[in-house]
Every structure is written in structure tokens, then in C-alpha cells.
Structure 1
Amino acid sequence: MKVRTYIALLSVGSLLGASLLIGLGWWGFASLSSATRELEKETQRTGELSVEYKDVEAFLSTTRSIMVSMEVYPENYEGLFGVTRDELREAEIQLNVIASKYGQNYSEKELKHLVEDLAEVKGAVLKLEEFAQQLGKLKDNQKPPADFWVKRNKAKSQYEEIRDKLKQSVNNLEILSEQFRQKSEQEVLTKWKDLKSREETNGFFLLLGVLLYLGLISFLGFSTYRSFASPIRRLEMAAVDSIDHNKPFLLAESGPYEIRSLTRRLQGLIIGLEETVERRTAELKERTIQLQKEIRQRMELETQLVHAQKMEAVGQLASGIAHEINSPSQ
């Protein structure tokens, strides 16, 4: 494998790790944003239900005030029916607001019962008011018609019957409203828990991604050291041992293609250099031996020459002596 292949793999691995982190971060951000939006929507809906709950409570309070007034105060109490009529009109307005704004939260049948029961209660109250007015018009010691109390008691019974129906409808509306409120609060709590759960999950996966990325970077760093730095270091040590300490260059080829090629070339260069040095050393030794031999031969020739010169001198001396002997001087 060549160096550029290693570099390409390292780059791709780093980019994949970075992409993984970016992907995890974006996924976590999108998930939290979605959960936050859902929580905001549910909170807004809870606020709207809170307003609805207040409107419903106002209607319930007004309606129950009508019933309490009719039960507590006597029918000849001054202003009773005037206050009751005002409260009935207010209850009708409040019921219309509930039906128009929050009709989707309640069944049409339930709202219809409320409208009908409230109208019947209004009619029954008006009848009772007529009887009270008739009593008020009687002069002292004047008695009402013979069937007055029968009709009045019948109207009272009808009112109580209709009142009980309205009370039941009002109670049902209160139960539904309370259920909506509790359900909304529960949904907000659920959304909040879901948001916290997503935060914890995203934090875990993000931490896991960071650890994986660090592991990948560590692996790539170790692979880089093992593939580049370690072979180059071993090559340097082998070259130093071979050149400076005259040790044989013994190094197995490892690493990328370029480092293996450099190892082969350096090994061939050092081995060739060693062979050249050995060859030239042998030649030098051979020449040294030959020169020593020539020196010895020259020394022997010089010795022989000196001996010959000595012998020549001795011969001349002997010839002179012999000549003197043979020819004595006069």
C-alpha cells in the first residue's frame, strides 16, 4: 500500500468520524427542537384550556348562584326574580361563549342539553315570578283563586324537576372540563418527561459519538505511527548501526510501498558499499603484499650489488698487489 493510500484512508476516516459527530449533533438538535415545539404547543393549549376552564367555572358559578338564590330566598323576597333574570341572561351569554369557542371539546348533545335545560329553568322561573306577582297584587285579607296554590305548587315542582336536570348537566360539564384540564396537565407533564428523556438520550449518544470519534482518531494515530513513524525510526536505527557501528544491515521491509522501496534501496546501497570496501581492501592488501615483495627483492639486489662492488674492490686490490709483487719498483 502506498503513502497516498494511507493518507486517503486517514482522511476518509477522519471525515467519517467528523460526519458522524455532526450527524449525531444534528439529530439531537432536531429531536430536542421537535420535543420543545411539542411542549410549547401543549403548554399553549394548556393555557387555552385554562382560559376555557375559567369560562366554564364562571358559567357553573352563575348557574349554581341561580339555583341557590331560588332555594335560599323566599319567592316574595324583593328583587329575587330580577336578580335571577339577570343571572339567567349572563348564564346564556356564558354558555354561548363556551359553545362558540370550545364546542369542539364537548359533545353537541351535552351542549344541547345545557341550552334546553337552561331555557326550561328560565321558563319555570318566569312562571314562578308570575305567581309571585299575583300574590303581590292581592290586597289585605284578599285570598288568591281556589286553584292558585295547586298551580303554583305544580310550577314549583316543575321548576325543581328542571333544576335537577340542569344541575346534572352542569355537573357533567364540570366533570368534562376537569377531565380536559387534568388531561392537558398530564400531556404537558408527559411532553416534559419526553423532552428530558430525549435530552438524556441525545446526551448519551453524543457522548458515545465523541468516544467513538476519539477512539477512531486514536486508532488512526496509532496506525499512522505504526505505518510511517515506526518503520522510518527502525530504518534510521538500522542505518546508524550499519554505518557508524559496522553492523550488518538486517531490516525486514515494512510500512508503505515508498518506505519498503527506500529500505530495499538503502540496503542495496549499503551492501554494495560494503562489497566495494571489501574488494578495495583486498586489492589494497594484495598491492601491499606485492610492494613488500618488491621491496624485499630490491633490498636483496642492493645487497648483492654491494657484495659485488666489494668483491670488485677486493679483486682490484689483489690485482694491484700482484702487479707490485711481479714488478717490483726500481
Structure 2
Amino acid sequence: MSTPLSLDRIQHAPKALLHDHLDGGLRPATVLELADQFGYDDLPATELDALTEFFRTAAHSGSLERYLEPFAHTVGVMQTAEALHRVAYECVEDLAADNVVYAEIRFAPELHIDGGLSLDEVVDAVLAGFVDGERAAAGTGRAITVRCLVTAMRHAARSREIAELAIRFRDRGVVGFDIAGAEAGYPPTRHLDAFEYMRGNNARFTIHAGEAFGLPSIHEAIAFCGADRLGHGVRIVDDITVDEDGTAKLGRLASILRDKRIPLEMCPTSNVQTGAAASIAEHPFDKLARLRFRVTVNTDNRLISDTSMSQEMARLVEAFGYGWSDLERFTINAMKSAFIPFPERLAIIDDVIKPRYAVLVG
């Protein structure tokens, strides 16, 4: 590649996003307006610039637990159907503006019932926001498909209930299930009932694993829970050794992960901020990509991590010298791993991603 890819050029590329939290991607101005509209009085700042700066810096702590603290404020303003619809609608708008053509957005319905909404009403409001956002984006010439994952909090005891919610809404925009939250002390096997329910209903799920905790979390997610994908999975690198001559040797867990093509929903910027990686340049993404693991690029939390899909790709390009063919491969990896039916995945790959990359390369 003779000319490095710039952020501006990367913004024109089609993108597929598998790991993005709805409550981690609000616009700061929206947080302020919703707080004023619905009487949320606990914001750390009431001026837009100050609040924006708070979100940009508060989570950059080197700890997953501290990284999660600012979510109290975004969740705090998302307790009505109107607020949930607006946040979902703006999420689609922002992703479409970044040329994301497919996205799976996840959120935890159990965190949005303090205002009196039922779990079903919460999901209804979010899905309506996605539909309206898709329609508006198409009207501007930026077609995007957005689907939803419902998340259960791993420290709580509602995962079976949330899995049942996923199945109730499976034909209305919910394509899967997830567990999230602090990993240490909350292994995925605590939620076996929920995962068995999903498998029993021929449904798909991903598990946050190998982000703030090590190989045991990944092993449980794969061997006992049967995860279709891994959220982050950064610590799988601990099961890979590299000899002095550069030869990589995979342990049994890393081997089965690669052999089964289990997708890794990697979020480089977030991983640095939570301490899962020391820097983008030291992130295991490149090692895993070169070893042909199914790596995908994701934002995790666009507000909290102050990022976008284009910025994530640009940071990887700067660190590892990737070109268009690499970014296309990561994008197709994500699209292959999406939880929508195979014909829909194939149509987006063949009719959208490949043709638009062909134009960029040409």
C-alpha cells in the first residue's frame, strides 16, 4: 500500500458492526436534553462542553469496573418510551452517517424499567426507534439494517427472563441474546439456564468473555455455555505462544476457537481504556488476524470511548499498516458472523460490501 488510508477515506467504506451498546452511544446534547425533560438531576455537568469532556475522560481508567461507572447517567435518562425511541433513532442516524450498513445494537432492558415501563414496552420502544431510524437513513441515501440483541446483566438474576424476552421478539427485530457487566466473580456458567433456553429455541447468543478476566471465562463461554460469538475475547492471546523464530503455537482453547471459526467481537479503543490491552499497537488484534482467527472490528461504546467505526479502523490502520483488502476482510468477517439469516448476510456482502470496496480500491 503506497498511500496510508486516512480517516476521511475510511469513512467512505461500508462497515458492519456487531458489538455496540445502545446506552454507551448517546449524543451528549441528547443526555442534557433528556435529563432536563425528564427530571434527571444527577448529571456530573450541566453544560454541553463540560459533559462531553466528562464522558471522554471518566471511563479511561484502566479498569472495566470504573469504565462502566458513567453508564449510570446514560441509563438514568433512558427510562421512558420517548427517550428510548429517541436514543435508538439517533443511534441509527449516527451509524448511517459513518457508512455502517449493518449493525447489531445491544442493550439491557432490565436497566430501563425504573420509570414504570415493562420489559416488553422497553424493547418495543427501542425497536420502533430503530425502524424509524432505518427509514430516515434510507431517505438520505444511506441504507442501513439494524437489529437488536437483548442483554442480561451477569451480576443479576434475570438472565432466563431476558432470554425469554429475546424469543418473544425474535421476529420483530431481536436477533440474539447476550450477558454483560463485570466479569470477575460472575462466570457465564451462572446463566446456563438462559443459554440452554436459547439453544432449545434454536436461537443465537454471544457472551462477554475474555475482556477483564482470562482464559477460564472464555473456556466456560465456549465449552459449557455454547456461545456463538465472544464479546471481546482479548485474553485468548494468553493461550498462544510465539517462538523466537516467530512460529506461533496455539493451545487447545485457542485452537478450538479458531477451528470452529468463533467470531471475536473486538473493540480496540475500549480494550485499551479498560486495561485489557496496553495500547492499540500492543492490542492482540493483529496477531489474531494474522493467525486467521475470525476477528471483527467494533466500537463497544461510541460515547464512552469517544469513537466510531471509522476511527476504530483508522487506529488499526495506523498501528498495523492495514490496507483496503484487510478492512474488507474484517468487514466480511463481521457480516458472516451476524445473527440474521444466511441469505440476508450474503446479500449485504455481495450487493453492498464487495461492490463498494471494489470502487474504493479502484
The TM-score, its normalising length taken from structure 1, stands at 0.19
Question: Whose relative contact order is higher, 1 or 2, with alpha carbons under 8 Å and at least 6 apart?
Answer: 1
Q: Which has the higher helix share?
A: 1
Which structure has the greater CA radius of gyration? 1
Q: Which has the higher strand share?
A: 2
The TM-score, its normalising length taken from structure 2, stands at 0.18
